[in-house]
């Protein structure tokens, strides 16, 4: 197995076509096909399934690509670091998180403090399973998610299998986010019955749309009006436009969000343990340590408001 073969596989996956990938790589299509076939034979797996409609990545191919991308990213880091030793290397840092404003706020503080001419940072607000997978496959150094009595056993099983560790950040009582113009906004707290007439907004989880991977607690409760979204901006717009609601920790971070959204305690006997995950076999980088400190600082500031 060679780095060249890894580059070939990554480009075919990106192009979804042998012929297009061959053009991008400036090699002949038969040479590319043979190189990938040799790699598949060597590893004993099928990376791509060839169909009349083109290339399809197999499940084992998807897993292999995760590792291949890591190898190529590390190779690029080595080149950047040592090709010209007189220049400071471009720093890389990546975080994957559920849709928490405090994760964004801490990320902003990190970048302001870092203040370098060159860097490549990534913040992925994404699905629960993908957060776990990102940290497991080293695409992200930090992952942010929650545990509660309902999902703890299942999520912790995935963490153990991925050699991941969960670190507590804070424990919160459930709150609902609603528009400041929602009729319920004048109340000190709300019940599930109070919320029944309003649309319930939640983040969709893709292929892993299990109750255990839900970003919101009480995911098994039946509701008459349900809307699933994929990003926080859309969710907040629908909260305001449709008088909808969602369930979260109550930490809003008004430094990056406007005051059109309010958090009200939800009358349920539940607790949410929010934390970050890291890989067991990887030591935190200085940037990861800085980010974790900013997370704790941001959360402490916001919890004093609740």
Query: Rounded CA gap, 162 and 156, in Å?
Result: 10
Task: Please give the domain boundaries of the chain with CATH numbers for all domains.
Answer: 3-83 (1.10.10.10), 91-304 (3.40.190.290)
Retrieve residue 271's tokens. 């607790």
- Single pTM value for the model: 0.70
Q: Are 240 and 97 in contact (CB under 8 A)?
A: no
Retrieve residue 272's tokens. 């949410």
% of the chain surpassing 70 pLDDT: 92
pLDDT at 222 over 60: yes
Distances (CA, A) of 62 to 67, 69, 222: 9, 11, 35
pLDDT at 81 over 70: no
More confident residue, 252 or 29: 29
Confidence of residue 242 (pLDDT cuts 50, 70, 90): very high
33-79 pLDDT per residue, tens: 899 999 999 999 999 888 777 788 888 888 888 888 878 877 876 77
Tell me the CB-side half-sphere exposure of residue 281, using CA atoms within 13 A: 7
More confident residue, 72 or 237: 237
Total Cβ atoms within 10 A of residue 75 = 13
95-141 pLDDT per residue, tens: 999 999 899 999 999 998 887 777 889 999 999 999 999 998 888 99
- Any alpha helices (H) in 48-164, and if so which ranges? 59-82, 101-114, 128-136, 152-161
């Amino acid at each position: 197995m060679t780095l060249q073969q890894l580059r070939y596989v990554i480009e075919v996956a990106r192009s979804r076509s042998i012929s297009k990938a061959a053009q991008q790589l400036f090699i002949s299509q038969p040479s590319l096909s043979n190189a990938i076939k040799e790699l598949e034979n060597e590893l004993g797996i099928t990376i791509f399934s060839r169909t009349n409609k083109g290339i399809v990545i197999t499940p084992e191919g998807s897993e292999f690509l995760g590792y291949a991308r890591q190898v190529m990213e590390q190779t690029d880091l080595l080149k950047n670091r040592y090709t010209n030793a007189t220049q400071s290397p471009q720093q890389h840092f990546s975080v994957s998180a559920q849709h928490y404003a405090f994760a964004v706020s801490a990320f902003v503080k990190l970048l302001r403090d870092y203040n370098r001419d060159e860097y490549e940072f990534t913040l992925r607000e994404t699905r629960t399973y993908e957060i776990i997978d990102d940290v497991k496959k080293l695409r992200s150094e930090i992952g942010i998610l929650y545990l509660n009595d309902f999902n703890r056993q299942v999520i912790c099983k995935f963490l153990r299998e991925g050699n991941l560790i969960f670190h507590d950040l804070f424990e919160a009582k459930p709150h609902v986010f609603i528009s400041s113009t929602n009729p319920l906004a004048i109340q000190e707290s709300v019940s599930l019955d109070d919320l029944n007439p309003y649309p319930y907004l939640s983040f969709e989880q893709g292929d892993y749309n299990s109750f255990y991977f839900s970003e919101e607690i009480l995911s098994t409760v039946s509701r008459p009006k349900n809307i699933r979204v994929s990003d926080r901006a859309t969710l907040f717009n629908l909260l305001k436009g449709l008088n909808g609601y969602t369930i979260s920790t109550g930490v809003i971070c008004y430094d990056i969000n406007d005051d059109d959204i309010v958090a009200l305690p939800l009358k349920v006997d539940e607790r949410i343990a929010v934390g970050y995950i890291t890989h067991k076999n990887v030591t935190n980088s200085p940037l990861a340590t800085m980010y974790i400190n900013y997370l704790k600082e941001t959360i402490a500031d916001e919890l004093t408001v609740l």
